[in-house]
Amino acid sequence: MRGPDPLYSLIMSDNMTLAGAVLSIIVRDGRMLLVRRRNPPDQGLWGFPGGRIEHGESYLAAAARELREETGFETHAEGTLTAFDLIDRDAHGQIRFHYLIIAVKCHDNGWSAIRAGDDADDVDWFDMAQVHANPSAFSPGLPELGALALSSRGIAPWPVAQQTRLSETTAAQQPESILS
């Protein structure tokens, strides 16, 4: 019998610097459900609920779980809004951690009560005017991700030029199987 696959050992090692994480996006009446983060990163700032994907968990299940844990909101995930990298380096340029973050659209069931959960000091609904009025109170990138979340729901459509540029960039970077 052979020993463990070296690639598997590398991927599953504690020294791995890449981890998957989700942000759970709920939009209701032009407002986004946000939490004030209790822990780093972005401690004390308002941001979308989210966290790491657990071993063996799908990213859609992780989005629903994180939303429930941080806000008490019971729902199911609808699909991917976008994905991006978050790479943190130390003073010497060495990577401390690298997250692949998947922003997931979640279903608004219209009835779930909200309450601050395990990683949140507070939870509330915000519109973009509130975000723009006090940008330092929100996680970096939240205005852009919020605009994308609202536009995908048909609430605040992007300007045509911006939408076209995004579509062309996305199409050029994605494998054909993802686009079909």
Residues contacting residue 86 through CB under 8 Å, at least 6 positions apart: 21, 41, 98, 99, 101
Report phi then psi at 30, rounded to 5: 75, 10
Q: Please report the pLDDT score of residue 58 as a whole number.
A: 95
Q: Please report the pLDDT score of residue 155 as a whole number.
A: 46
Q: Please report the pLDDT score of residue 50 as a whole number.
A: 96
Q: Which CATH architecture has domain 6-179?
A: Alpha-Beta Complex (3.90)
Q: Please report the pLDDT score of residue 111 as a whole number.
A: 80
Q: Can you give the residue ranges of every domain in the chain?
A: 6-179
Task: Measure the CA–CA gap between 102 and 80, rounded to whole angstroms.
Answer: 7
Q: Please report the pLDDT score of residue 112 as a whole number.
A: 79
pLDDT tens over the chain, length 180 residues: 455 554 445 445 555 578 999 999 999 999 999 999 999 889 999 999 999 999 999 999 999 999 999 999 999 999 999 999 988 889 999 888 899 999 999 999 888 789 999 889 999 999 999 999 999 999 999 999 999 999 865 444 444 434 433 444 444 444 333 333
Q: Please report the pLDDT score of residue 45 as a whole number.
A: 98
Task: Measure the CA–CA gap between 17 and 120, rounded to whole angstroms.
Answer: 25
Q: Please report the pLDDT score of residue 91 as a whole number.
A: 94
Residues found in the chain: 180
Q: Please report the pLDDT score of residue 169 as a whole number.
A: 41
